[in-house]
Amino acid sequence: FRVPWAQSSHARSVFGTLALQMTTLEDVVEGKDYNFPTEEQATLEYWKTTDAFKEQLRRSEGRPEYVFYDGPPFATGLPHYGHILAGTIKDVVTRFACSTGHHVTRRFGWDCHGLPVEYEIDKKLEIKGKEDVLRMGIDKYNEECRAIVMRYSKEWEKTVTRTGRWIDFENDYKTLDPSYMESVWWVFKTLYEKGLVYKGFKVMPYSTACNTPLSNFEAGLDYRDVSDPAVMVAFPVIGCALQSSLVAWTTTPWTLPSNLALCVNPTFKYVYVKNPDGKVFIVAEVRVASLPGATKKAKGDKAAPLSDGWSIVKTVSGAELKDLRYEPIFPFFQEEMQHTAFRVCVDSYVTDDSGTGVVHQAPAYGEDDYRVCVAHGIVEKGGVLPDPVDVNGLFIAPVPAPFAGQHVKAADKDLIQAIKDSGRLVDNRSIVHSYPFCWRSHTPLIYKAVGSFFVKVEEIKDKILANNKKTRWVPSYVQEKRFHNWLENAHDWSISRNRYWGTPIPVWQSKDGEETRVIGSIAELEEATGTKITDIHRHFIDHLEIPSSRGPQFPPLKRVEDVFDCWFESGSMPYAQQHYPFENKERFEKSIFPANFIAEGLDQTRGWFYTLMVLSTALFDKPAFQNLVCNGLVLAGDGKKMSKSLKNYPDPNEILNKYGADALRLYLINSPVVRAEPLRFKEDGVFQVLKELFLPWYNAYRFLVQNVKRVEEETGKKFNPLAPGQEPVNVLDRWIASATSSLVTFVKTEMEHYRLYTVVPKLVNFIGQLTNVYVRYNRSRLKGKNGDDDTNRALTSLFNVLLVLCKTMAPFTPFFTENMYQNLKLCLPDAGASEPSVHFCLFPEANADSVDARVEASVARMQSVIEVGRQIRERHNKPLKTPLKRMIVSCEDAEFLQDLQGELRAYVVEELNVRELECELDPLKFATIKAEPNFAVLGKRLGKAMGAVGKAVKEMSVADILAFQKSGEFVVGDTTLGLEDIVVKKEFSLPEGFTAETMDAATGEGDVMVVMELEITQSLLDSGAAREFVNRLQKLRKSAGLQASDTVSVFFEPAPGNAEDATQAMLRMLKTEQAYLLESLGSVPQAIAAKPADLNVVATGECSLSTGAEFIATLAAMKI
C-alpha cells in the first residue's frame, strides 16, 4: 500500500446516518490521538468539580480507620523525584486501604523549623554568626524565617495534586503551629519526668557554618571523599636517656594546639627505632614501616626489613609507656594544664591498621579523646576543657596570630609550617578519606565538645530493639540489617540546638543551677508567669521569668537559650499533629496510634524512622507504626546525585506535562527503587511505559468501545454486560476470567503485605496478556465472526476484565482508570450512579468459580508454543504471512495436548499460519534424550565419588531416563539422585524423508518440543498472498475512516505497467482463496469493470504484494 487517496469526508457522508444512532458508550479517539497529559487535566478538573477526595472520605465514614502518618517535608525547596516517588507509594497504599473498606485520613505535613530555614535566611541576610543575629534581634530574625517557611507550599500542592495524590492540604499540620509546639513540650516533659532527659557535655559533630551541634544520624547524612593533611609529629619524652620521641599521626592538625595527652594500646608492642641521624622514635612495632624511609620494600608475605642505618634500640609493651611525660607541641595550655596533662595514656581503642599506633588526644574535639582523658585524670568530667575554637570554627585566645581568627580547617597549612619550623614534623602527606559534611550547609563538620540536652537512648535500647521487631518493613533487610545495626550502636540523642527558629526547650533554670522547672503546656507557663501567651517561639517567651520556689530573696528562673532539634519535632509528629494530649486524647489512644502505615526514603533510616521509634518507645513502649515501606534513592541517569547546578535530570513538571502522571507513577514503582535500591532516572523509561503498557491497554479498551457501538448500531439493542446467559464458554474467555480472578487474589494478598515490588510487575504482565493474547487472538470474534451470541459473550468477557482491571489498577494509575471507568460505567444498569468515581468503588472480589488452573496453565504453554514457532520461522526466514503446511507439538502432558488439539487449536493455527496441527505424546518420536550429571549440584556433595556417579548417569539408557523422569529418583550404588541432580537433554531427531531445510524443531517451556515442516508449495504461496491482499485492503479502510460496521464492496484493477505474470498469479490467488477473502473482507474482490454505476467510491489506493503484483484497490458502497 503506497500512497493512498482516501475521501474520508465522503466516506462519512456515505455512512453518516449510522453514526447518528444513539449508543451507550461515548466515542474514543485513536490511540495516536489520545493525549494522556491533557486527559489527566480533565480528570483533575472532574475531581475538583465533584470534590472527589472529600466525597470519598465522606462515603467511607464509619468504616474502620486506617491510620497513615505523612512525614513532613520542608517547603523551602521544590519537590523532586524522591518526593514524587514516596508520595506515589503513600497514595497507592492509602487508596488501596480505602478500597478495601477503610476510612483513611490523609493530612499533609510541613517541617517549618530548624537549620534548613535558618540557613536560607543566613544566606539572604549575609549573617555570619550569633553576633549578627543578636544585633538584628531574634524577633526580627525569627519573623524572617516565618516569612519563608511556606515559600513553595503552593508549588508543592500543585505538583502533588498533579501527580494524582489525594491528600488534605487544607487541614495540614505545621510544626510552627502553637498547638503542635505545645505537644512537643508535653513529649519533652514526659521524658524528663521519666528520667530519660539529662543535660550533658559531650563531643559531638558540629557545624561551624550553622553554629550548632548535630546528632550522630544527622552527621551520617552526607559523607564525602575529601583530601586532608596526614602528618606525623614528634613528642620528645622528658627524661629519656635515649632522647626518644613518641610519634603521633593525625589527619586533623588543627586539633594539635589543644593536645593534652597521647594514647597507646596497652597490649601492643612498641619499639624505640633509631634513624641514621641518631633520632629515636617510639611507634608500634607493626607500624615501623609508616615512618618515612624506615623500611625496605617487603618481599612476599615477609615483614619489610629495616633500611640501612635504621635499628631497633628497645622493645616494650604499650602498658610500659603509661604516664611517660612529653614536651607539648604548642605552649598555649602548658601552664594551666602542666600538673595533669602531657603524658601517655593507655586504651584499647587505639588500632594498628593505620598511623603509628600512637594517637594524640584533644579532649575538646574527640569523643574517645574526652573519654580517655577523663579516665586518666587529664581533665575532670564536666570541668572546663581547653577549647580555643569559637562557635564559628575560628581560633580564639589563647591561640595567637597567625592562627587566631582563622577557620580551623583553613589554619592547617600554617600549623603544619609552625610544627616544621620547630623541628617536630616527621612526615607531611595528604590522605583521601570519607569525611562528614553538614547536611544543610554542605560544609565540613568538626567534632567539638558542647553542652546539650540528651535523651537516654542507650538506657532504653533493648526496648527499642524489641519494638523494632514488632513492625514490618518492606523490604525486610532494611529493618533486619541497616536499621537494626544502627539501633545496636545507638548513642544518647542530642536534642537541643543553640539556634533561634525552632520550638524552644521549655526549661527554666536559676542562675546557680540549683533550681530547674520543666514546662509541659502553654497553660502551665501562663500560670507560672502570669502572662497570656499566644505564641511560644523564642522571641515571645525568652523574656518571661518564673519566680523561684525558694523564695523572693532568690532571683527568678530564666529559660535556657536552646531550641529543639527539628528531628525531635518531626519524631513527635504522631502526637503533635493531633495536639495530644490536650485534644483528641481518647480517640488517639483508642484508634489512631500507632499508625498502620508510613513510607519514606532509605535516608530516613537514621532520621525520621529512628526518631519515631525512639520517642514512641520512650513514651508508650510501643512502635509508632506497624508497617513501613522504604524506597531507594532516585539518581540522575548517569548514576550521580540529581543536581540543579549540573542539570543532569529533566524537570518533573516537564515529564508530567509530556507523558502524564500515570506513566511517571508506574515507571517509578515498577523499578528497583521500591525494593530500597537506587534507580537511575531515564526519561525514555517513562516513554516506554506509555508506549508498551498504556497504549496497548487503551487500544484494548478502544476496541471494546468500537465493537459495543457496532453491535448496538446493528441490533438496535443496548449492550448489557450483566444480562443473564453471557457466561464465558470460549476457552480464552474462560482463561481471561480465571486469570483476572487469580490477579485480584494475588494483588490483594501482596498489597496486604505491602509488597508493591511484586504487585506492579504482575499487573504489568497481566495487561500485556490482555492486549497481546486475549484481544489479539479474539479480534475476529469481537468483530462478530461467530455470530451474535459469541460476540456478546466475548464483549462481556472483555468488558468485565477491563472493569475489574480499572478497580484493581485505580490505586496505581488513578487518572487513566478514572477516565476509562467514566465511560464503562455507562453500560451498568444504573450507569454507575452508585459509584460515580472508580475511586469510590471497593476493591473487586475474586470469583472463585471462574478460577481454572488447567486452562491458565494450558494457555500459558500455548503461548510458549507460539513463541517457539515464531523463532523457528525467523531462523529459516519464513515470514508469518507465508503459510506452512504442518507443525507438530510433542509433549508428555496429555491434558495440554488435548486442549491444544481442541479449543486452543484455532488460535495456534491462526497465529503461526499453519495448515495442520498435530500433537505427539511420545517424547522420542521426534527426539533423542540423554542424561548428564548436574556437576554444580553434585560436585560439592559427592567429592571423590563424583567420577563413578557421573559415569553411571551418562550411561543411563532411554528406559532409565524415562523411569527417572516419572519417579524422580535414580540410584547409583549407595547414592540416590533426585530431579535437581540430573539434567535430561532432549535433542531433535530428523525423521526420514526430511532435511534440515524442510523441517526444524525447538524446545520451549515445560519441555514442549515444537516441530515445523518448512517446505513451501504454490498453494501455500497463494494463501500468503491472500493474507497480504486482505492486509492492504484493511489499511485502505482505515485510511478512509471506515468503521468496522461499514460494509463495502471491493474492486481491483492491475496497476499500469504491472508484469503480466505477476497479474496472472494474483488472479489465480483471488480465485483459489475466494472463501478466505469473503470471510475476511465481507465480499469477494471483483474487477473494477464489474462495479455497478449506483455504487459510490469511498476510497481508492495503489497497493503492492510481495509476489510483485501491483494493483489499484477501490472501495465502494451504496449511499444510504
Please tell me the distance from the alpha carbon of residue 569 to that of residue 175, in angstroms, as a whole number: 7
Q: Which of the residues 166, 186, 608, 697 is marked catalytic?
A: 608
Judged on CB neighbours under 10 Å (0-12, 13-18, 19+), 209 is buried
Q: Is 551 exposed, middle or buried (0-12, 13-18, 19+ CB in 10 A)?
A: exposed
Phi and psi, residue 338, nearest 5°: -65, -25
State the burial class of residue 831 (Cβ atoms within 10 Å of its Cβ: 0-12, 13-18, 19+): exposed
Q: Which of 158, 585, 640, 641 is catalytic?
A: 641
CA 447 remoteness from chain centre: 34
First to last CA, the chain: 28
Residue with cell string 532432549: 986
Q: Look up cell 462478530; give the residue.
A: 784
Catalytic residue among 47, 56, 72, 386: 72
Considering the candidates 567, 863, 933, 981, report the single residue annotated as catalytic.
567
Query: Closest by alpha carbon to 723, among 803, 824, 827?
Result: 827
| Residue 1119 identity | K
Provide long-range contacts, Cβ within 8 A and 24+ apart, for 764-771.
764/666, 764/670, 764/693, 766/739, 766/740, 766/805, 767/693, 767/696, 767/697, 767/805, 768/693, 768/696, 769/736, 769/739, 770/697, 770/700, 770/736, 770/801, 770/805, 771/696, 771/697, 771/699, 771/700
Give the three-state DSSP class for 655.
Answer: helix
Residue 475 annotated as catalytic? no
110 counts as catalytic = no
Residue from 56, 73, 79, 111 carrying the catalytic annotation: 111
* C-alpha–C-alpha distance, residues 759 and 1092, integer Å: 59
Q: Is 641 part of the annotated catalytic residue set? A: yes
Q: Is 305 helix (H, G, I), strand (E, B) or coil?
A: coil
608 catalytically annotated: yes
Q: Which three cell numbers stand for residue 154?
A: 503552593
Q: Would residue 769 show up in a list of annotated catalytic residues for this protein? A: no
Angle of CA points 36, 39, 44, to nearest 5°? 120
| 439 classed as catalytic | no
Instruction: List residues bridging with 1105 in a β-sheet.
Output: none
DSSP string, 910-963: HHHTEEEEEEE--TTSSEEEEEEE-HHHHHHHHGGGHHHHHHHHHT--HHHHHH
Q: Specify the 3-state DSSP secondary structure of 590.
A: helix
Nearest to 1010 by CA among 930, 881, 918, 929: 918
Distance CA 426, CA 292 (A): 8
Which of the 8 DSSP states describes residue 103?
Answer: B
CA distances from 767 to 163, 660, 695, 698, 699 (A): 22, 19, 11, 10, 11
Return the half-sphere exposure (C-beta side, CA atoms, 13 A cut-off) of residue 962: 8
Got the DSSP string for 58-94? Answer: HHTTTSPB--B-PPPPBTTS---HHHHHHHHHHHHHH
Asked about 72 being catalytic, the answer comes back as yes
Q: Which of 361, 604, 822, 863 is catalytic?
A: 604
Out of 123, 469, 585, 644, the active site residue is: 644
Q: Which residues are catalytic?
A: 72, 111, 567, 604, 608, 641, 644
